[in-house]
Amino acid sequence: MDEPYQLRSTTRFDPYLQSLNWNNDSHGPSPFFLLPLHLERLLAAAEKHNWFLAKSTLKYNTLKGKCLDAIADQRVKGSTAVAFRVQITLSVDGQLVVVAFHLPESFRSDPTELARRRLPAPGVDVDLVSGLKVYLDKEPTQPTVFTQTKTTLRGVYDRTKKRLEQKAKDTPSSNWDVLLYNYDGEIMEASIFNVAFYRSSAWVTPSLNTGCLAGVMRRWLLEKGRIKEDTEGVLTKDTIKAGEWVLLFNGLQGCRLGKIYM
């Protein structure tokens, strides 16, 4: 790969998170969404890319300090926002850059709560549960190290969304996503979310063997038993039906609900 890139992770600064014990870090209540897991994901990605210098220099206190500095910088600039998207990038030489961008609103409830629930009742409109439209991609995606790790190279995901732009033309860009599958027909993920489908009374997420991202929220939900990994290959392109629900999750937004469109 000749094009320069950085490893990336996106967390959230939100005072509401300090009320959730499961989000605590070693210092106590934390306003950063699962920040220790973001660190571990960056370290694992650095090893996968053979960025051993970057891995050796990345420490939690340094990361958290830079995240706090990014929020402080927004305050100096006059921002009165309550919550922020916090973008973290790590370069091959170990340079760590953190930038914050204001979000329109704070969490008002536990962002993982949807993963506790069963499917919405039949006939419930996706809009009534603040859901997204999720379109099945028109073409397969080749799994690579750049689908298995999060980087600043987003071309594969940009192309998937480009393919579905016409279908989603009447929907705001923040309210729709694309469901990717590999050349074996296995469901991988959406362009900015890991996913799970309701199968046999449980939310089931694609295996990492499909080439999907080892997401922060995905890991947490698996460890807490909220979702299960697909070990039997049941999540394939041919099993996905129009109108069915999909659980979407990432380390910025927590869990959201989507509905499949073909």
Q: What is the total count of domains within the chain?
A: 2
pLDDT of residue 246: 95
Integer angstrom CA distances of residue 114 from 6, 40, 206, 257? 32, 25, 18, 8
Are residues 72 and 132 part of one domain?
Answer: no
Percent of the chain at pLDDT above 70?
95
Task: Report yes or no on 17 lying in a domain.
Answer: yes
Are residues 178 and 89 part of one domain?
Answer: no
Where residue 26 sits, what CATH number does that domain have? 3.30.470
Task: Report yes or no on 229 lying in a domain.
Answer: yes
What single-letter DSSP state applies at residue 120? P
Task: Report yes or no on 1 lying in a domain.
Answer: no
pLDDT of residue 20: 98
Contacts of 220 (CB under 8 A, 6+ apart): 34, 37, 112
Task: Report yes or no on 108 lying in a domain.
Answer: no
Task: Report yes or no on 51 lying in a domain.
Answer: yes
Q: 72-130: per-residue pLDDT in tens?
A: 999 999 999 999 999 999 999 999 999 999 999 999 999 999 998 776 655 556 554 56
Mark which of 102, 121, 154 sits at the end of a domain: 102
Q: Are the C-beta atoms of residues 6 and 89 closer than 8 Å to each other?
A: yes
**Can you read off the two tokens belonging to residue 162?**
């480009």
pLDDT of residue 106: 97
Mark which of 102, 135, 159 sits at the end of a domain: 102
Are residues 147 and 221 part of one domain?
Answer: yes
Across residues 17-36, what is the average pLDDT?
98
245-250 vs 228-229, strand pairing mode:
unpaired
Q: Which amino acid is at 234?
A: V
Where residue 193 sits, what CATH number does that domain have? 3.20.10.10
Angle ∠(230,39,110) on CA atoms, nearest 5? 65
Domain hosting residue 41, numbered range = 7-102
Across residues 149-168, what is the average pLDDT?
95
pLDDT of residue 127: 53
What single-letter DSSP state applies at residue 21? G
Across residues 62-68, what is the average pLDDT?
98
Are residues 81 and 121 part of one domain?
Answer: no
pLDDT of residue 223: 98
Are residues 98 and 138 part of one domain?
Answer: no
SS3 175: helix
SS3 37: helix
pLDDT of residue 93: 97
Are residues 123 and 235 part of one domain?
Answer: yes
Strand ranges (E), the chain: 7-13, 84-90, 96-102, 132-136, 176-181, 187-190, 194-199, 202-205, 228-229, 245-250, 254-261
**Is the model's pLDDT at 257 over the cut of 70?**
yes
Q: 33-42: per-residue pLDDT in tens?
A: 999 999 999 9
pTM for this predicted structure: 0.94
Angle ∠(238,244,245) on CA atoms, nearest 5? 120
Place of tokens 């397969």: 140
Integer angstrom CA distances of residue 250 from 15, 26, 33, 74, 180? 18, 22, 10, 24, 16
Contacts of 258 (CB under 8 A, 6+ apart): 126, 131, 132, 133, 134, 177, 190, 245, 246, 247, 248
pLDDT of residue 46: 98
Q: 159-215: per-residue pLDDT in tens?
A: 999 999 999 988 888 899 999 999 999 999 999 999 999 998 899 999 999 999 999
Across residues 53-81, what is the average pLDDT?
97
Are residues 210 and 147 part of one domain?
Answer: yes
